[in-house]
Structures are given as C-alpha cells and as structure tokens.
C-alpha cells in the first residue's frame, strides 16, 4: 500500500514539474513514507530521518533539503512528532498528498481533474493498484484503522482507468490492494464486489494477470472464490491472515472469526480452486498467549500446509486497544523462540510443497533481471544474469538468461521447467516463450 501511495505522490509531483533523483543527496525534497505496523518498521523510519537530518545540516541556503514525512507514522495530532523531529518540514497522513504538494507549490490547483487524471508511472511489468483504503475492523493489536481511517472504495471506473493506463505503459500484471480487499464495494452506492471488479478489468488490453491482497476471512464470499476459479486472468493465490489458531486469542485480538470458521473458508477455497496457493500471516506472543495456545498455531500450520507464512512477534502499538487494555506478558526471548519454531515448521512444509514442483513446467511472467552470487563465488566473478518472475501461484522463479540474449523481454510469459527447488524459490530452465493469455501450470 505504501509503495502504491509513494508512486501516486511521485505522479502528482511529476505533474507539477518535479523529477525523481537517483540519490537523496541530489534531491531538493525527500519524502519518507512510513509504516508503524511493527516497532521495527517505526525504528527504521526514525533512523532514516536521522540520516536525512545530517544531510540537511550539511546543506545550507537555497539548496536546502526539504523533508516530508507521510504514512502511518503520522496521526491526527503531530505535536509529539514535531517536537521529536523538528527538522521535518511537512507531516502528512496516509493519502494526504495535497498537503505535500501545497507545501512545495502553494498556489497549485489540485482540484478538478488533477488527481483523477494522475496515474503512477509503472516501473516494470507489474503494478499495485489500491482499490479500497482504510479498515473498519479494529483488531486490538493494529494501528491501521487509526491511521488509514475507515474503508473507502474507489469506483470501478476510476480503477479501470488506472489499470488501462498502466497496461498502455507496459504493465501486464496488477495486484489489487486493500487492507481487507474483499470488503471492496460495500461502501459504494451500487455495492459492487471484488468479483464485479475482476470482471470489469479482465479484458483490459495488454493485461495478463490479476492478483489481489489481503483477504480478511469474514469478508470472503463464495462468489469471489468462484470468480477466481472462473476468470482465467485472476491468479489462484490467496493471502488470508489467520494470526492465531486458538479461539481465546482470536477473541482477544478481536479478529471477528473462530478458527472453525477460518478452516471452513480455507476448505471452501481448496474445493472450488484446487490449484490455489494459500499464504497466511501469524502473530506469536500476543498478550496472554500460553504455550498450549501457541502449539495450536503450530498444529494448524501442519494441518493446512500453507505455501507461505509471514510470521511476526507481537509488539504493542501505542494507541491500540491491546496497548491500552492488555498486558504484553510474553517475554521477548519466548516470542522469538515461538517465531523461530513457526519458521522451522514452515520451512519444512514449504520445502515439501516446492519439491513437488521439481520437473514440472510453470508459466512465469518475466519480471526482472538480476545477478546472483553463491557463497562460493564471493570475491570471484559474478554469475551470468538471471531472469526472475513468479508463477500464477506467486512462487518466485529464477532461470539463466540465454547466452547472447540482451533483451530481457520483461512482461512476456515464459514456460520454465523447474530443475531445483528451495523453500523460498524455484530455479529452472526456459522451456519456451508463449503468448497464451493465461493458463495453469502444465506437466513436464
Ligand atoms: S483487518 Fe485487523 S489487522 Fe487487518 S488492517 Fe484491519 S484492523 Fe489491522
């Protein structure tokens, strides 16, 4: 979401004549787009601001550096932030792009068609497209609803125009974004849902793939799952955070579902979309989590065998319900032990899931060129360039660029035969380029 917000602000700045620089040292303005969902992210933002402060102090006079901070670090009141970071010139809450633009160009006309006509410039064949902002759920540990506000959906027309603009500029895959993406449309007059939106953008010229993030179990509907199964460009990948598998912990988190309801949705997805990859998010060490309750989460992972698990140790976020009313009573070392236990179990599961892909041929969208080095090669010559992309099920694939091929053909589809696997990525060899609109993995 922050990447999409940064790109949108960059598009607004470009419209006012500003240009991106390669390094902050060359910039007249630095915008730090912040995330405070966990303490670590907040610490990183604060330390980056310290670096900008030194840069600002080294420059004086007309070439001074202006610093703007936007994103979730900025709440409705900024007095504390202003006292802590007095060198920051402008503070803007998430999506408050106008504040930054007006600070730079006070008489700029940002009304009328300024924003509806301003689409981010794509940086490659994939793009994030926010479709619903904010969140109404108020999970007790989460700061997002306080910082990003209530759920607000963009209209289908507005989103479709952005997708068309991206595709006209080379984008082949869009990821539709929302904190709770299946809540899309509930606040709009004619109540369209995510399935309607898939259908509305499906035939956009140039578009090959549609992804969506992040699912909230209670907002999921069978209609949406069926749309994933029926529409060929919608990729069969779901990210459905479970957070914990114990009902008391889920209630304390105010997640709004029981583990039985969660299981029902996962089974329904697997019934309707058998090839679906499912990933999840887990928080360990939430207030009052006992060893037995934690064990239920480990058991759930072994039962459901997710393709990927994003795990975080709970860290209290000031201003949230948990911060106000619940005791953060699991010691940090114990949180880390639980986190590593989840990682170990998931590494084994992902190893097994990915091993099963050995020898298959996968359809991959060519997303980038990278150079990789193995440990043995440190200090030696680098490996030849490696191309990378993802399968429809969101698995990262690398394969060597054919010798003599200088044009990476980003945005094309290629079939890759998988020759090596790891829990985190797949390696393979090209098995031919093709121009099929979208198809599933084919056996070798
Ligand atoms: S659903 Fe819960 S965890 Fe997700 S953004 Fe909303 S409040 Fe935060």
DSSP string, 105-131: STT---STTTTTT--PPPSSSEEEEE-
Question: Residue 279 is encoded by which pair of tokens?
Answer: 């990933």
Residue 136: predicted pLDDT: 94
138 lines ligand 1 (CB under 6 A): yes
DSSP code for 330:
S
- C-alpha dihedral, 195 to 116 to 215 to 42, nearest 10°: 170
pLDDT surpassing 80 at residue 371: no
Please tell me the distance between residue 336's alpha carbon and the centre of ligand 1 in angstroms.
23
Cβ contact 220:182 at 8 Å? yes
Residue 441: predicted pLDDT: 37
| Mean of pLDDT values over 356-368 | 95
User: Would you give the distance in Å from CA 158 to the centre of its chain?
Assistant: 21
Which of 396 and 405 is assigned the larger pLDDT?
396
Cα separation, 216 vs 255, in Å, equals: 9
Digit-coded pLDDT (tens) for 192-206: 999 999 999 999 999
180 lines ligand 1 (CB under 6 A): yes
144 lines ligand 1 (CB under 6 A): yes
Under 8 Å CB-to-CB from 271, ≥6 apart: which residues? none
Q: Which atom of ligand 1 lies nearest, measured to the CA of 143?
A: 8
Residue 385: predicted pLDDT: 79
Please tell me the distance between residue 176's alpha carbon and the centre of ligand 1 in angstroms.
17
Cα separation, 285 vs 90, in Å, equals: 36
142 lines ligand 1 (CB under 6 A): yes
pLDDT surpassing 90 at residue 59: no
Please tell me the distance between residue 135's alpha carbon and the centre of ligand 1 in angstroms.
6
352-375 burial, b at 16+ Cβ within 10 Å, e below that, comes to ebbeebeebbbbbbbbeeeeeeee
pLDDT surpassing 80 at residue 381: no
Measuring CA to CA, which residue among 217, 242, 252 is closest to residue 141?
252
Share of the chain above pLDDT 90, in %: 78
pLDDT surpassing 80 at residue 12: yes
Cα separation, 330 vs 313, in Å, equals: 10
pLDDT surpassing 60 at residue 399: yes
Under 8 Å CB-to-CB from 181, ≥6 apart: which residues? 131, 132, 194, 212, 213, 214, 215, 216, 219
Under 8 Å CB-to-CB from 8, ≥6 apart: which residues? 97, 118, 120
Residue 23: predicted pLDDT: 87
Please tell me the distance between residue 243's alpha carbon and the centre of ligand 1 in angstroms.
11
**In whole angstroms, how large is the CA radius of gyration of the chain?**
23
Confidence of residue 39 (pLDDT cuts 50, 70, 90): confident
Which of 377 and 32 is assigned the larger pLDDT?
32
Measuring CA to CA, which residue among 362, 361, 215 is closest to residue 279?
215
Measuring CA to CA, which residue among 240, 245, 205 is closest to residue 225?
240
Residue 377: predicted pLDDT: 45
Sign of CA dihedral 403, 404, 410, 414: negative
135 lines ligand 1 (CB under 6 A): yes
Confidence of residue 383 (pLDDT cuts 50, 70, 90): low
Measured in degrees and rounded to the nearest 5, phi and psi for residue 398 equal -120, 145
Give me the chain's average pLDDT, please.
91
pLDDT surpassing 70 at residue 266: yes
* Residue-level length of the chain: 444
Confidence of residue 33 (pLDDT cuts 50, 70, 90): very high
Cα separation, 32 vs 159, in Å, equals: 26
Helices (H) and strands (E) in the chain, counts: 13, 16
Please tell me the distance between residue 216's alpha carbon and the centre of ligand 1 in angstroms.
8
Confidence of residue 259 (pLDDT cuts 50, 70, 90): very high
Please tell me the distance between residue 136's alpha carbon and the centre of ligand 1 in angstroms.
8
- The label of the residue with tokens 């998988």 reads 418
Digit-coded pLDDT (tens) for 129-152: 999 999 999 999 999 999 999 999
Measuring CA to CA, which residue among 31, 28, 38, 35 is closest to residue 8?
31
Digit-coded pLDDT (tens) for 310-328: 999 999 999 999 999 999 9
Angle at 410 between CA 433 and CA 440, to 5 degrees: 45
pLDDT surpassing 60 at residue 396: yes
Inter-CA distances, 330 with 188, 251, 294, 312, 342, Å: 42, 18, 11, 14, 16
pLDDT surpassing 60 at residue 238: yes
Residue 228: predicted pLDDT: 98
Cis (ω within 30 of 0) for the bond into 78? no
- The label of the residue with tokens 């907040």 reads 42
Confidence of residue 62 (pLDDT cuts 50, 70, 90): low
Which of 441 and 48 is assigned the larger pLDDT?
48
Cα separation, 137 vs 151, in Å, equals: 9
Residue 232: predicted pLDDT: 97
Q: Which atom of ligand 1 lies nearest, measured to the CA of 255?
A: 2
Residue 401: predicted pLDDT: 82
Residue 384: predicted pLDDT: 67
| DSSP letter string, 19-33 | ---SSGGG-SEEEEE
Residue 372: predicted pLDDT: 55
What are the start-end ranges of the H helices in 151-193? 156-168
Measuring CA to CA, which residue among 403, 391, 381, 375 is closest to residue 427?
391
Please tell me the distance between residue 144's alpha carbon and the centre of ligand 1 in angstroms.
6
| Bridge partners for 420 per DSSP | 427
Whose Cα sits closest to atom 1 in ligand 1? 137
Whose Cα sits closest to atom 8 in ligand 1? 142
pLDDT surpassing 50 at residue 380: no
| Mean of pLDDT values over 2-7 | 92
Angle at 125 between CA 95 and CA 117, to 5 degrees: 40
Digit-coded pLDDT (tens) for 160-218: 999 999 999 999 999 999 999 999 999 999 999 999 999 999 999 999 999 999 999 99
- Domains (range + CATH), the chain: 2-104 (3.40.50.12160), 126-355 (3.80.30.20), 361-434 (2.40.50)
Sign of CA dihedral 388, 397, 127, 232: positive
Which of 374 and 31 is assigned the larger pLDDT?
31
């Amino acid at each position: 979401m922050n990447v999409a917000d940064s790109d949108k602000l960059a598009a607004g700045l470009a419209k006012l004549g500003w240009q991106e620089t390669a390094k902050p040292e060359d910039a007249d303005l630095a915008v730090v787009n912040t995330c405070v969902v966990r303490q670590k992210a907040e610490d990183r933002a604060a330390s980056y601001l310290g670096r900008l402060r030194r840069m600002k102090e080294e420059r004086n006079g007309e070439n001074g550096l202006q610093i703007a901070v936007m994103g979730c670090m900025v709440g409705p009141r900024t007095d504390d932030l202003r006292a802590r970071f007095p060198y920051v010139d402008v503070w803007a809450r998430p999506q408050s792009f106008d504040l930054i633009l007006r600070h730079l160009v006070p008489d700029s006309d940002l009304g009328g068609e300024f924003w509806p006509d301003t689409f981010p410039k794509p940086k490659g064949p994939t793009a994030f497209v926010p479709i619903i902002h904010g969140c109404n759920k108020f999970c007790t540990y989460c700061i997002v609803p306080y910082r990003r506000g209530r759920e607000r959906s963009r209209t289908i027309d507005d989103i479709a125009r952005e997708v068309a603009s991206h595709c006209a500029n080379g984008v082949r895959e869009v990821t539709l974004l929302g904190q709770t993406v299946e809540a899309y449309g509930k606040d709009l007059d004619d109540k369209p849902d995510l399935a309607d939106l898939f259908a509305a953008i499906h035939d956009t010229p140039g578009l090959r793939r549609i992804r969506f993030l992040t699912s909230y179990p209670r907002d999921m509907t069978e209609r949406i799952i069926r749309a994933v199964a029926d529409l060929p460009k919608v990729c069969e990948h779901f990210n459905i955070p479970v957070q914990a598998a114990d009902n008391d912990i889920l209630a304390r988190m105010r997640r709004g579902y029981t583990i039985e309801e969660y299981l029902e949705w996962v089974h329904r997805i697997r019934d309707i979309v058998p090839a679906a990859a499912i990933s999840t998010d887990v928080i360990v060490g939430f207030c009052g989590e006992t060893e037995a309750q934690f064990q239920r989460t480990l058991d759930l992972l072994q039962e459901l065998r997710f393709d990927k698990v994003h795990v975080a140790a709970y860290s209290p976020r000031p201003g949230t319900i948990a911060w106000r009313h619940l005791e953060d009573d699991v010691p940090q070392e114990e949180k880390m032990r639980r986190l590593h236990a989840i990682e170990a179990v998931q590494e084994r599961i992902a190893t097994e899931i990915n091993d099963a892909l050995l020898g298959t041929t996968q359809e991959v969208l060519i997303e980038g060129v990278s150079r990789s080095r193995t440990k043995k090669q440190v200090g030696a010559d680098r490996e030849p360039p490696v191309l990378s992309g993802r399968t429809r099920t969101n698995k990262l694939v690398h394969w060597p660029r054919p010798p003599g091929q200088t044009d990476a053909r980003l945005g094309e589809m290629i079939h890759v035969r998988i020759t090596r696997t790891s829990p985190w990525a797949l390696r393979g060899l090209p098995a031919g380029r093709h121009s099929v609109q979208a198809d599933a993995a084919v056996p070798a």
